[in-house]
């Protein structure tokens, strides 16, 4: 595994949400899969991996998105109650005891990014079938300026667009993301320091949001959006049973 840069966890920021994300922690993964592993990937991810992760206490929802023909082709987002869930012994034990199918399937992964994140800001009240996902490099001394620009200027404008239902910015925790486990040793991956997500009901709304974020003047504070930012469409969404039952309580 390898990093794109040296960065520090964004511990200073409190989680702020109005409910679009189901918690203050997230694991966000981008990946390609070789052509000979696609069927196995779907069988594993749909029927084993997502249910396995959501059985861990504190995991609340798993979603996978796709953009055919793009690299990375898949985007997976796991939402958790908070960062402590993602560094818990229960989760680490799972990462250190991958199933045989997990080990076999991860060998087909290519171009992988994986970030264990704090949710810095989440605005909006719905999830969307289209997800704009942007990995962003930000100089450490400009972290606060980046957060302020996004959350106070860019997100309010983007949320006014028809078809945009939620905006999120997440900061990777370096220690959690780079934890050495049996599963992490099966593949190379990088850790994007910041992740911007915009949820939409229409693909054209997501593309408009992408243009708005890209033209917001991020370059003035040294922030760089990776060129492989893309709009993905939803393939699967699953709630943890515990969270699903809690949602149904009066």
Residue 124 lies in a domain: yes
Q: Which domain range does residue 180 map to?
A: 25-244
Residue 8 lies in a domain: no
Q: What pLDDT, in 10s, does the model give residues 3-48?
A: 433 444 444 444 444 468 999 999 999 999 999 999 999 999 999 9
Residue 138 lies in a domain: yes
Q: Domain holding 179: CATH number? A: 3.30.70.100
Q: What pLDDT, in 10s, does the model give residues 71-125?
A: 999 999 999 999 999 999 999 999 999 999 999 999 999 999 999 999 999 999 8
Other beta carbons within 10 Å of 235: 16
The overall average pLDDT reported for the chain is 90
What's residue 115's pLDDT? 97
Residues in the chain, how many? Answer: 250
Residue with tokens 């667009």, as numbered in its chain: 161
Whether 109 contacts 188, CB under 8 Å:
no
Other beta carbons within 10 Å of 90: 12
Residue 180 lies in a domain: yes
Other beta carbons within 10 Å of 222: 14
What's residue 186's pLDDT? 83
Residue with tokens 């962003």, as numbered in its chain: 136
User: Rounded CA gap, 110 and 187, in Å?
Assistant: 8
Residue 109 lies in a domain: yes
**DSSP state letter for 15:** P
User: Rounded CA gap, 61 and 238, in Å?
Assistant: 6
Q: Which of 247, 235, 215 is nearest to 64 (CA)?
A: 235
pTM for this model (two decimals):
0.90
* 176 token code pair: 């959690």
First-to-final CA distance of the chain = 45
Q: How many domains does the chain have?
A: 1
Residue 9 lies in a domain: no
């Amino acid at each position: 595994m390898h990093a794109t840069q040296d960065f520090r966890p964004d511990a200073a920021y409190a989680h702020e949400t109005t409910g679009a994300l189901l918690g203050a922690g997230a694991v966000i993964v981008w990946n390609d899969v070789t052509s000979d592993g696609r069927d196995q990937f779907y069988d594993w991810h749909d029927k084993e991996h997502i249910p396995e992760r959501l059985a861990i206490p504190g995991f609340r929802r798993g979603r996978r998105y796709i953009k055919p023909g793009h690299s990375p082709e898949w985007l997976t987002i796991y939402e958790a109650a908070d960062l402590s869930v993602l560094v818990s012994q229960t989760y680490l034990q799972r990462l250190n005891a991958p199933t045989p199918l997990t080990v076999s399937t991860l060998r087909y992964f290519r171009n992988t990014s994986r970030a264990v994140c704090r949710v810095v800001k989440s605005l909006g009240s719905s999830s969307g079938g289209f997800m704009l996902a942007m990995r962003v490099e930000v100089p450490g001394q400009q972290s606060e300026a980046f957060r302020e620009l996004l959350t106070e200027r860019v997100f309010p404008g983007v949320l006014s667009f028809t078809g945009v239902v939620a905006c999120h910015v997440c900061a990777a925790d370096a220690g959690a993301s780079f934890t050495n486990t049996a599963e992490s040793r099966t593949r190379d991956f990088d850790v994007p320091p910041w992740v911007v997500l915009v949820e939409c009901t229409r693909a054209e709304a997501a593309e408009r949001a992408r243009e708005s974020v890209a033209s917001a003047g991020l370059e003035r504070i040294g922030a760089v959006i990776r060129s492989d930012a893309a709009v993905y469409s939803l393939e699967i969404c699953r709630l943890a049973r515990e969270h699903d039952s809690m949602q149904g309580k009066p």
